[in-house]
Amino acid sequence: MDRVLSNKKAIIFFLFPALVMFIAVIIIPIVMSSYYSLQDWSGFGKGTFIGFANYKGLISDPIFIKAAINSLILAAASVFIQLPISLFLALVLAKGVKFEKSFVTIYFIPVIISTVVIGQLWMKVYNYDYGILNLLLRSIGLDSWTQEWLGDTKQALGATFIPIIWQYIGYHMLLLYAGIKSISTDVFEAAVIDGSSWWNTSLKITIPMLKPVLNVSVIFAVTGALKVFDLVYVLTGGGPAHASEVIGTYMVSTIFKGNQYGYGSAMAIFVILECFVLSILVGFLFREREGAER
């Protein structure tokens, strides 16, 4: 193995197929999107080069600004609502509860279910006439609280984001659960001998040792929220009146319904840059915190 790792030709030989796939699937599409984002192009014929006009248009587009804000709200909700729930579940399950493996599997099931199926399920939950949510409110005498959850401009954003957060709680829970299980049991046994409670051990030992995994989970949560599309599209399509619009849904409607491929490509590049910058920022914040603690 050491001879293979020290052989540069062998390394290049094994990495070359992956490099080709990376260039073909990621680099080339990004370069092409960057090129089209500088053009006024309808998707047919030849485009007209207009420089950064599309990017300037994004800044003055109220729908795009609203979509960008909604995406940031979802990112914040993912970090401050989704991840704490996932972390709590991971801590509880890793403690060694009865049917531990079964619970891990059950919580992960929403992650592997088709997003379209989940969208259809939650549309049934939110239905005004026979949805579980409104039926529950009526059964406890809160008829005045029932409403068209996905059809109300004030409720649509939150009602759309709840299924997104719910779907990926199990994903982050599994990452954190695996991280906890990788910590040596000697650490926890020493804490028990010292008389530390489970809660105190979790706060002062487990969570600090999980920082590398938490760093990855935060990056995944933020970037996943910024590029979300499918579940929002199934539930509301970005409506009503763009109340639940995110950049992904607005980009698709702009490209495929408005035939503004250049403008849509500018949105795509914006999302790529946004994810890239925030990923670096999250990594920097975790490194700064680790440095401060040392």
- The string of DSSP letters for 95-135 reads TT-TTHHHHHHHHHHHHHS-HHHHHHHHHHHH-TTT-HHHH
Residue 113 and residue 200 in contact, taking contact as beta carbons nearer than 8 Å? no
Residue 116 and residue 206 in contact, taking contact as beta carbons nearer than 8 Å? no
* Residue 233 structural domain: 37-293
pLDDT score of 198:
84
pLDDT score of 187:
85
CA–CA gap between residue 286 and residue 246 (Å, rounded): 27
For residue 48, the cross-strand partners are: 40
Residue 186 covered by a domain: yes
Residue 212 covered by a domain: yes
Instruction: Report the candidate in 279, 272, 223, 274 with the shortest Cα–Cα distance to residue 30.
Output: 272
CA–CA gap between residue 220 and residue 75 (Å, rounded): 10
Residue 280 covered by a domain: yes
Per-residue pLDDT of the chain (294 residues; tens, 9 = 90+): 556 556 677 778 888 899 999 999 999 999 999 999 999 988 787 888 899 999 999 999 999 999 999 999 999 999 999 999 999 999 999 888 888 889 999 999 999 999 999 999 999 999 988 899 999 999 998 888 999 999 989 899 999 999 999 999 999 999 999 999 998 888 888 888 888 888 888 888 899 899 999 999 999 999 999 999 999 999 999 989 999 999 999 999 999 888 899 999 999 999 999 999 999 999 888 886 665 565
Strand segments (E) across 209-284: none
- Phi–psi pair at 39, nearest 5 degrees: -125, 155
pLDDT score of 97:
81
Residue 231 covered by a domain: yes
| C-alpha torsion sign, points 32, 38, 42, 48 | negative
- Phi–psi pair at 233, nearest 5 degrees: -65, -40
Residue 99 covered by a domain: yes
pLDDT score of 197:
85
Residue 2 covered by a domain: no
CATH of the domain at 102: 1.10.3720.10
Structure tokens at 224: 């996943």
What's the domain count of the chain?
1
Residue 30 covered by a domain: no
CA–CA gap between residue 100 and residue 195 (Å, rounded): 25
Residue 10 covered by a domain: no
